[in-house]
């Protein structure tokens, strides 16, 4: 069983990639900070879970996807949607419950998705999506497609029965899937040590004779390298893997949780010092890949982008209550059903033929 | 007698029973250090220790199964699903195992599953449901759905003492919104005994849980509008449910609305309506009317969720329609 891979030499990193990764992490950070503010202003209902601090684990992995790969994620999914390229305005509109949201206001914060980009969703029932992602990998395999599935979930999901059943299926059927544990070290207020008899979560792969690996999840390049490598093996050799990326959520479990009862101030502070965005910015400027003024420019660009997303989403319409009964069932004309969706919104309707369905 | 919130009443009931009976212990996700997702068990771990307030991994199947196994050894475990929606992960343990254990083996299964349920604050499709109907269909389980703080306490006490598996639905929207008098001390409320929430003579509303208050608002509006006198029957428990109280009320008013927040088709209201049709057909002056959530998932978007949940206006419209008979 291999353990921690070395961070690859950054000679591999070009300026465009550096800028893309930095920009996406900055966009997510800014988006989430403003989301928190919108929530406290009661523009967002229900629950609001931020992944501030975990950007590298999300962005590094998703950046390693190739066209045709499929993605599943947990409910802490604002960054996931942005990283796959969903429009910030459509994501914000979903948080506001607007008709133009990525799920037409039916799902909310925990259930973002973008089927056209093969992001099959954030999932509010912890662990539920692992078997589903496995089934998607089965379909890729069945249809002999050259792609693989990336399935992200938290450390808490590892304790569900679904984790075991999904990994076992993937192992026994040789499915093209990478299971990524975004280990932020707590499931709500319960630490990994408290909830897992084997706190080295990556070691669980051994039970399925699967490759397991733990890496620094706050190092966007390490995450990108490991994901690219394991997804490559999954695509080419139909071998699943378990990748554990160690990270930390700076905020509470949800906006309603201060996040301080079950962890110490020192612990939080020590992780803030390992902020993945600051760290990557430094990495890039030390190597002359990004100048300070470019970094500043990114921050002001993403701030403007998020602001306009908020403004536009605020102006969008709520769903018409008369549509309450719509969408519950599909029918034999389901393909056409997708045309009911608006451009820029979720189920993949931008006029493109969804050829992969056939 | 003190005024308490619904949430405090549940908390008090649990605490008092834990003090009284050493066999009672709690298992759930984040119920200890965190104090529970809704803070029902805040401070419990300090008082009772980690052995009796057990923070569990995210494992609903194992939590429920472990409660059953411990109950077979004479313990009285109370577990919490963080949201009632997640009980689907424990369906097999409840429906296949716990519900049939006594019938099959003769061993009682005195477990309680606490289930924060219901919508009204944009929880979306997986954090707002009222899944009592699934379980009401299953012989061997008991189901409580308290509406008032006094019943919240009284029914949790009875639930823990009951020798059968009990699903205890606590409506999230009542937690801090509803306050009421809670008698001091050991005030267990018997299962299967409905409560007349308000007396009336023109029409009966049969309901439970949060919809008691929706009925109350509608009844108030009807009374103000034209003096219609509505009787509200709060079932308190749906397995067993108080047929006598329902039939007596229908005999008195001869018009009836069955109201619940769960979805329509095969909701528990169908059982009530069918029973009224079978047993009280001759006393009826109008068809039995059901007012429920529609047969759709619970939408996230606030205006859609409002349209989804039965509102006082919907109930008032129902009252007016039945008045025409
Ligand atoms: C089946 C199920 N049980 C419980 C919950 C409630 N819940 C939501 S998130 C969470 C913790 C999840 O922890 P983890 O998987 O580590 O993800 P993180 O929150 O750290 O991103 C819990 C207990 C749920 N949504 N689904
Ligand atoms: Mg976690």
Q: Residues B170, B200: one domain?
A: no
B91 contacts chain A (CB < 8 A): no
**A203, burial (CB in 10 Å: exposed 0-12, middle 13-18, buried 19+):** middle
The pLDDT of residue A347 is 47
**Closest Cβ–Cβ partner in A111, A188, A328 for B124:** A111
* Residue boundaries of the structural domains of chain A: 10-323
Phi-psi region of A351 (alpha: psi -120 to 50; beta: other; left: phi over 0): left
Number of H helices, E strands in chain A: 12, 8
What is the number of other CB atoms lying within 10 angstroms of the CB of residue A288?
Answer: 8
Residues A90-140: pLDDT tens digits?
Answer: 999 999 999 999 999 999 999 999 988 999 999 999 999 999 999 999 999
Task: Look at the block and give the residue holding tokens 């800014």.
Answer: A30
pLDDT at A344 (0 to 100): 44
Best CA proximity match to B132, nearest among B120, B121, B145:
B145
pLDDT at residue A11 in the model = 60
Chain A residue with the nearest C-alpha to that of B295: A325
- The alpha carbon of residue A237 is apart from the nearest alpha carbon of chain B, in Å, by 33
Same domain, B31 and B157: yes
A155/A195 Cα distance (integer angstroms): 9
Interchain contact, A157 vs B299, CB within 8 Å: no
Q: Both B173 and B199 in a single domain?
A: no
Q: Can you give the CATH number for the domain in which B237 is found?
A: 3.40.50.920
Residue pLDDT, tens place only, A210-265: 999 999 999 999 999 999 999 999 999 999 999 999 999 999 999 999 999 999 99
pLDDT of residue A336: 44
B206 and B59, same domain (yes or no): no
Using the structure block, give the residue that is written with the tokens 């536009």.
A312
Distance (Å, whole) CA B145 – CA B294: 20
> Which domain-ending residue is among B182, B216, B248?
B182
pLDDT of residue A332: 55
- Residue B55 maps to a domain: yes
Cα dihedral B312/B313/B315/B320 (nearest 10): 140
Claim to verify: residue B174 and residue B223 sit in the same structural domain: no
Is A328's CB within 8 Å of B35's CB? no
* B190: in domain: no
Q: Is A125 in the pocket of ligand 1 (CB under 6 A)?
A: yes
Query: What's the whole-number average pLDDT of chain A?
Result: 91
Alpha carbon B61 to its chain's center? 21
B301 contact A CB<8A: yes
DSSP output for A73-131: EES--HHHHHHHT--HHHHHHHHHT-TTSTTTTSS-GGG--BGGGTEEEEESSTTTHHH
Residues B303, A257: Cα–Cα separation, whole Å: 26
Do B33 and B8 lie in one domain? The reply is yes
With contact defined as beta carbons under 8 Å apart, do A162 and A130 qualify?
A: yes
Which is nearest to A76 in space by CA: A18, A167, A152? Answer: A152
Q: Is B294 near chain A, with CB under 8 Å? A: yes
CA of A288 to the centre of ligand 1 (A): 40
- What is the C-alpha radius of gyration for chain A, rounded to an integer number of angstroms? 20
> B264 and B290 in contact (C-beta within 8 Å)?
yes
Which stretches of chain B are DSSP H helices?
6-20, 44-48, 60-72, 91, 99-105, 132-136, 149-161, 211-226, 243-253, 268-280, 302-308, 312-323
Active site residue B197: no
| pLDDT score of A326 | 84
Nearby residues of B227 by Cβ (< 8 Å), 6 or more positions away: none
CA distance B54 to A55: 32
pLDDT at A115 (0 to 100): 87
Count up the domains in chain B and report the number. 2
Q: pLDDT tens across A63-81, in order?
A: 999 999 999 999 999 999 9
Q: Please state the φ and ψ torsions of residue A197, each to the nearest 5 degrees.
A: -65, -25
Could you read off the pLDDT tens digit of each residue along chain B, which spans 325 residues? 899 999 999 999 999 999 999 999 999 999 999 999 999 999 999 999 999 999 999 999 999 999 999 999 999 999 999 999 999 999 999 999 999 999 999 999 999 999 999 999 999 999 999 999 999 999 999 999 999 999 999 999 999 999 999 999 999 999 999 999 999 989 999 999 999 999 999 999 999 999 999 999 999 999 999 999 999 999 999 999 999 999 999 999 999 999 999 999 999 999 999 999 999 999 999 999 999 999 999 999 999 999 999 999 999 999 999 999 9
B189 located within any domain: no
Substitution site in A80, A126, A250, A263 for ligand 1 pocket (most atoms within 8 Å of beta carbon): A126
Strands of chain A, DSSP E: 70-74, 119-123, 149-154, 177-183, 186-187, 190-191, 211-216, 241-246
Examine the domain organization and report whether B134 and B39 are in the same domain.
Answer: yes
**Within a domain: B95:** yes
The contacts found for A83-88 with CB under 8 angstroms, 24 or more apart, are: A83/A24, A83/A28, A83/A58, A83/A59, A84/A114, A84/A117, A84/A118, A84/A119, A85/A114, A85/A117, A86/A112, A86/A114, A86/A117, A86/A119, A87/A309, A87/A344, A88/A27, A88/A31, A88/A305, A88/A306, A88/A309
CATH superfamily to which A10-323 belongs:
Thiamin diphosphate (ThDP)-binding fold, Pyr/PP domains (3.40.50.970)
Sheet containing B166-171: order of strands: B53-55, B24-28, B76-80, B112-117, B166-171, B142-144, B237-239
Please check whether residues B176 and B285 belong to one and the same domain.
no
Query: pLDDT by residue (tens digit) across A311-355?
Result: 999 999 999 999 998 888 766 555 444 444 444 444 443 344 444
For the cut 80, the answer to whether the pLDDT of residue A43 exceeds it is yes
The string of pLDDT tens digits covering residues B233-286 is 999 999 999 999 999 999 999 999 999 999 999 999 999 999 999 999 999 999
Set of chain B residues whose Cβ sits within 8 Å of the Cβ of A188: 29-30, 34, 37
Residue B104, classified by CB atoms within 10 Å of its CB into exposed (0-12), middle (13-18) or buried (19+), is exposed
Structure ipTM: 0.93
SS3 helix, strand, coil % of chain A, rounded to 5?
50, 10, 40
Range of the domain at B81: 2-182
Q: Are residues B212 and B94 part of one domain?
A: no
Q: Is the same domain home to B81 and B203? A: no
Shortest Cα distance from B305 to chain A (angstroms)?
A: 9
Q: What is the CATH number of the domain that holds B134?
A: 3.40.50.970
Cβ–ligand 1 distance for B216 under 6 Å, the answer no
B192 interfaces chain A, CB cutoff of 8 Å? no
How many whole angstroms separate alpha carbon A221 and alpha carbon A234?
Answer: 20
CA B231 to chain centre: 20
3-state SS assignment for residue B57:
coil
Q: Which residue has the higher pLDDT, A59 or B1?
A: A59
A125: tokens are: 């029932």
H-helix or E-strand spanning residue B167? strand B166-171
Catalytic residue among B102, B127, B137, B260: B127
- C-alpha to C-alpha distance for A313 and A320, rounded to whole angstroms: 16
Q: What is the pLDDT of residue A1?
A: 38
**C-alpha span between B221 and B215 (Å, rounded):** 10
| Ligand 1 binding pocket includes B241 (Cβ within 6 Å) | no
| Same-domain check for residues B176 and B202 | no
What CA–CA distances, in Å, run from A59 to A250, A277, B178? Answer: 17, 11, 44
- Residue B110's nearest CA partner among B195, B182, B17, B32 is B17
Residues A264, A121: Cα–Cα separation, whole Å: 33
Residue written as token pair 């018997």? B190
pLDDT at residue A6 tops 60? no
List A213's β-bridge partners, or say none: A243
State how far Cα A70 lies from the chain centre. 12
DSSP class of residue B86 equals G
| Interface A:B, Cβ pairs < 8 A | 131
Domain boundary among B182, B208, B232: B182
Average pLDDT over residues A157-165: 98
Mean predicted confidence (pLDDT) in A17-30:
98
Q: A225 in helix, strand or coil?
A: helix
CB A94 within 8 A of CB A107: yes
Asked whether residue B150 falls in the same domain as residue B58, the answer is: yes
């Amino acid at each position: 069983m291999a353990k921690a891979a070395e961070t690859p030499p950054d000679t591999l990193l070009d300026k465009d990639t550096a800028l893309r990764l930095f920009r996406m992490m900055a966009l997510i950070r800014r988006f989430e900070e403003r989301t928190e503010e919108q929530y406290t202003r009661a523009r967002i209902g229900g629950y609001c879970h931020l992944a501030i601090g975990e950007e590298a684990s999300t962005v590094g992995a998703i950046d390693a996807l190739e066209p045709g790969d499929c993605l599943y994620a947990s409910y802490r999914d604002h960054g996931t949607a942005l990283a796959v390229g969903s429009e910030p305005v459509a994501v914000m509109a979903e948080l506001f419950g607007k008709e133009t949201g990525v799920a037409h206001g039916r799902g909310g914060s925990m259930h973002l998705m973008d089927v056209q980009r093969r992001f099959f969703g954030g999932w509010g029932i912890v662990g539920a999506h692992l078997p589903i992602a496995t089934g998607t990998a089965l379909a890729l395999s069945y249809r002999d497609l050259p792609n693989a599935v990336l399935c992200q979930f938290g450390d808490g999901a590892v304790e569900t029965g679904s984790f075991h059943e999904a990994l076992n299926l993937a192992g026994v059927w040789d499915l093209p899937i990478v299971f990524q544990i975004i280990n932020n070290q707590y499931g709500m207020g319960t630490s990994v040590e408290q909830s897992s008899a084997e706190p080295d979560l990556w070691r669980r792969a051994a039970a399925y004779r699967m490759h397991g690996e733990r890496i620094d999840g706050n190092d966007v390049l390490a995450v990108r390298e490991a994901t690219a490598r394991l997804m490559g093996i999954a695509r080419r050799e139909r071998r699943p893997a378990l990748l554990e990326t160690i990270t930390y959520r700076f905020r509470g479990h949800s906006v309603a949780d201060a996040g301080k009862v079950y962890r110490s101030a020192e612990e939080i502070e020590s992780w803030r010092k390992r902020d993945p965005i600051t760290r990557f910015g430094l990495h890039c400027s030390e190597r002359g890949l990004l100048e300070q003024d470019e970094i500043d420019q990114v921050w002001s660009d993403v701030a403007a982008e998020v602001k306009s997303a908020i403004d536009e989403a605020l102006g969008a319409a709520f769903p018409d209550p008369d549509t309450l009964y719509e969408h519950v069932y599909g029918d034999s004309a389901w393909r056409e059903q997708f045309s009911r969706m608006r451009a820029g919104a979720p189920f993949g309707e931008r006029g493109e033929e969804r050829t992969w369905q056939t | 007698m003190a005024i308490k919130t619904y949430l405090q009443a549940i908390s008090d009931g649990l605490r008092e029973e834990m003090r009284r009976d050493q066999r009672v212990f709690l298992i759930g996700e984040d119920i200890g250090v965190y104090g529970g997702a809704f803070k029902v068990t805040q401070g419990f771990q300090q008082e009772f220790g980690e052995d009796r307030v057990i923070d569990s991994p995210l494992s609903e199947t194992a939590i429920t199964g472990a409660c059953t196994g411990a109950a077979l050894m004479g313990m009285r475990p109370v577990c919490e699903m963080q949201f009632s929606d997640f009980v689907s992960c424990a369906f097999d343990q409840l429906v296949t195992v716990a519900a049939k254990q006594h019938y099959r083996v003769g061993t009682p299964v005195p477990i309680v599953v606490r289930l924060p349920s219901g919508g009204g604050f944009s929880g979306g499709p997986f954090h707002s449901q009222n899944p009592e109907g699934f379980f009401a269909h299953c012989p061997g389980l008991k189901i409580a759905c308290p509406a008032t703080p006094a019943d919240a306490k009284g029914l949790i006490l009875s639930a823990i003492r009951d020798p059968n598996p009990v699903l205890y639905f606590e409506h999230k929207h009542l937690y801090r919104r509803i306050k009421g008098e809670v008698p001091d001390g050991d005030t267990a409320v018997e299962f299967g005994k409905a409560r007349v929430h308000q007396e009336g003579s023109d029409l009966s509303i049969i309901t439970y849980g949060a919809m008691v208050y929706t009925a109350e608002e509608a009844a108030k509006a009807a009374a103000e509008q034209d003096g219609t006198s509505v009787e509200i029957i709060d079932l308190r428990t749906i397995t067993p449910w108080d047929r006598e109280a329902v039939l007596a009320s229908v005999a008195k008013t001869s018009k009836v609305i069955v109201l619940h927040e769960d979805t329509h088709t095969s909701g528990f209201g169908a059982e009530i309506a069918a029973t009224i049709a079978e047993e009280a057909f001759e006393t009826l002056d109008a068809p039995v009317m059901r007012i429920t959530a529609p047969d759709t998932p619970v939408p996230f978007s606030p205006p859609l969720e409002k349209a989804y949940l039965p509102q006082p206006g919907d109930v008032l419209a129902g009252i007016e329609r039945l008045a025409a008979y």
